[in-house]
Structure 1
């Protein structure tokens, strides 16, 4: 992750796989039978940039309109069908019908489906169609507040998506356009999973398919089999935790010297290694490229032209931020909660446990703006520094930072 390591990195890939697990007392409407709606791209779509901010979990968060109502949303090319949160004020329960189930990070989730009148996203509009409906907890975005919508491949794939991470804006334009120059990688929307897919080369081994998932806050994720095939000897590794719609998932974590995404060479890339039988393997892929990696570039995703274009941004060649504390924490109002103790890190040796809460750092309380406050940098501080962490139940512990992966 390129931002402060206080927060989890959420993983939000969702793939509709069946018409099971009804969530209403009416007949399920399978995906193939649903009204897909009518799409229109405005003639001035190229000028209709959508501003966004980056969540603490490295996701693209912005505002759009659903049935004339302003809603908050995350751009998520790893979601097959646009998803509305059950808790959103935009949900009309009188229209909610059973929607089956989906495979997600952490397991399976039950879905509903709600027809919509209109959706407006930048220069793209849709009349008719609908959205899937599921629980969307705030922890899935690494933020204190949940969002209303995950905008998925069904809304995006008919056009080219131009994401200017450095300027915090994106737009939808007609397919085939090339608004900037960069290095190219293959891209398609898979018929099997209905998400964006590409390939990477790691340790000289080409891994395909790899989901291109803007809703995944991590950098690169590979399966255990893919990591073994890459045969990268001598790299130190640790563990980390992620949260998806169905719950938490623990994976390995290492920094690799280099990897290729199509023509593009990336150095010192953060790679997560899923355990055998993990999410990527379960859906028949070899891993994911997430927003934690993509945010170092200007990105064009154009499955119609079968290409992804990456233009290096100012952070493209910077080494990833590494934890030196071995603690991954989440925010709970005025405190931090330990979500994971990283294998081999100093926090393990110091006896830290998941679930413990921190209320003071070097004598300072947890500020309201903690995600962007310089205080949050303690967990990736200079090796050898001693940090005083005050637990919320009273005692203070000293933690000596060190390099461990």
Structure 2
């Protein structure tokens, strides 16, 4: 507890331009979980408070053009960058300082870009591997908090996997699917899914069980539709395999374009307490409260967003009851079984969309029409 009394100006140098406060281990950063499973938290750039998303799947930290203008950042040059969902134009600027938790980074290069659809959920900054790789990152998903530590620290015990990081690159590790070891796998805290594989990596596993449907994800380049299924045998860090959702990119998808077998996201990492320490070359995983939980599966086939007063359909899953009922992206729902959407939604959860098979839900669209939807297992 004495570290809490140490002056903030007494800092520890970790890499050029990056310093850690002596009480950094006590400086937990609380985060919120977005509807798409990203970690949203407060940050400060050049004295300006903002909201950020923790995104180790990005090689560089990105800010929106509107925030760049607010912070007085001016792009010196521009280039086209590869991103999930398509290419994005990025301008480069120099920030004087970025502060999160016990970490202060001075003279930091940041990208200025406007992802298609914007950075969602009220965030203006995507914090990438360039900012985080100086140190160890301890993410306690159960407590919804993380902290920045000196590399080499081991604040908890768990199973260990290799974690690789090249300069101006992203975090990479390995996974095992149906007994097949796949590498490199990008460790991507900004991806709300569990595991996404390139088409070639998926075919190499030889696994052909399970029913395949589709789902929707978001990248800087816009929305991406992928095949998806639930597999019974995904293993991390030498631990026993367990059930997980798997997404399969189409030919020429992001993973293949950057030479990776796939991406490991927060949808799977959230089952653990996670230590990412690229300088020490390790990822440590300690099972959390949800380690044995079954993968939640839609029984409606409607992927929906809450707009504040209604539910907007953003994707209709292939082979689902919703697909059979001719539902379309863009449809808006104002009530379910006579209960207004605003009253029915709790903590972002729409209970009926993953309800028991056989249940029939009466949905009232915002145009006044009504449709019934009978829930079913379909993947």
Query: Please, what TM-score do these two structures have when normalized by structure 1?
Result: 0.86
CA distance in 2, matches of 1:400, 1:117: 56
CA distance in 2, matches of 1:149, 1:347: 35
CA distance in 2, matches of 1:172, 1:99: 31
- Matching residue of 2:165: 189
Higher relative contact order (CA 8 A, sep 6+): 1
- Matching residue of 1:219: 194
Q: Is 1:346 the equivalent of 2:321?
A: yes
- Matching residue of 1:268: 243
- Matching residue of 2:3: none
Q: Is 1:125 the equivalent of 2:99?
A: no
SS at match of 1:201: strand
Asked whether the equivalents of residues 31 and 41 of structure 2 are also in contact (C-alpha less than 8 Å), the reply is: yes
Which of 334, 357, 361 aligns to 1:387? It is 361
- Matching residue of 1:27: none
Asked whether the equivalents of residues 77 and 151 of structure 1 are also in contact (C-alpha less than 8 Å), the reply is: yes
Q: Is 1:47 the equivalent of 2:35?
A: no
SS at match of 2:256: helix
SS at match of 2:146: strand
Asked whether the equivalents of residues 266 and 317 of structure 1 are also in contact (C-alpha less than 8 Å), the reply is: no
Shift of 1:399: 0.1
CA-atom RMSD in angstroms: 1.8
- Matching residue of 2:335: 360
Asked whether the equivalents of residues 253 and 272 of structure 1 are also in contact (C-alpha less than 8 Å), the reply is: yes
Asked whether the equivalents of residues 161 and 173 of structure 1 are also in contact (C-alpha less than 8 Å), the reply is: yes
SS at match of 1:128: strand
Stretch deviating more after TM superposition (92-101 or 258-267): 92-101
- Matching residue of 1:397: 371
Shift of 1:118: 1.2
Stretch deviating more after TM superposition (391-400 or 84-93): 84-93
CA distance in 2, matches of 1:90, 1:170: 29
Output one character per residue of 1:98-150: Cα deviation in whole Å (capped at 9) or x when no partner. Answer: 23121111110001122211111111101212310111466654x3xx30111
CA distance in 1, matches of 2:107, 2:73: 17
Instruction: Give the length in aligned residue pairs.
Output: 365
CA distance in 1, matches of 2:276, 2:69: 29
Shift of 1:89: 6.6
Within a 5 Å distance, the mapping from 1:110-121 to structure 2 comes to 110-121=89-100
CA distance in 1, matches of 2:366, 2:130: 45
SS at match of 1:116: strand
CA distance in 1, matches of 2:198, 2:174: 13
Shift of 1:93: 5.4
CA distance in 2, matches of 1:126, 1:79: 17
Q: 1:396 to 1:357 in 2, by over 3 A?
A: same
Output one character per residue of 1:174-201: Cα deviation in whole Å (capped at 9) or x when no partner. Answer: 111111000111101135x600000111
CA distance in 1, matches of 2:346, 2:127: 24
Query: Any unmatched runs of 5+ in structure 2?
Result: 1-14
Within a 5 Å distance, the mapping from 1:124-163 to structure 2 comes to 124-136=103-115, 140-141=119-120, 143=121, 146-163=122-139
Shift of 1:97: 2.5
Asked whether the equivalents of residues 216 and 291 of structure 1 are also in contact (C-alpha less than 8 Å), the reply is: yes
Shift of 1:263: 1.6
Which of 232, 244, 267 aligns to 1:292? It is 267
- Matching residue of 1:241: 216
Output one character per residue of 1:249-305: Cα deviation in whole Å (capped at 9) or x when no partner. Answer: 111111111111222234111111111111111111010000111111100000111
Which of 289, 296, 299 aligns to 1:321? It is 296
Q: 1:331 to 1:140 in 2, by over 3 A?
A: farther
Q: 1:201 to 1:313 in 2, by over 3 A?
A: same
Shift of 1:240: 0.6
CA distance in 2, matches of 1:140, 1:368: 27
Query: Any unmatched runs of 5+ in structure 1?
Result: 1-35
SS at match of 1:88: helix
- Matching residue of 1:306: 281
Which of 185, 206, 212 aligns to 1:231? It is 206
CA distance in 1, matches of 2:162, 2:290: 23
- Matching residue of 2:76: 97
Which of 61, 67, 73 aligns to 1:88? It is 67
Asked whether the equivalents of residues 88 and 115 of structure 2 are also in contact (C-alpha less than 8 Å), the reply is: no
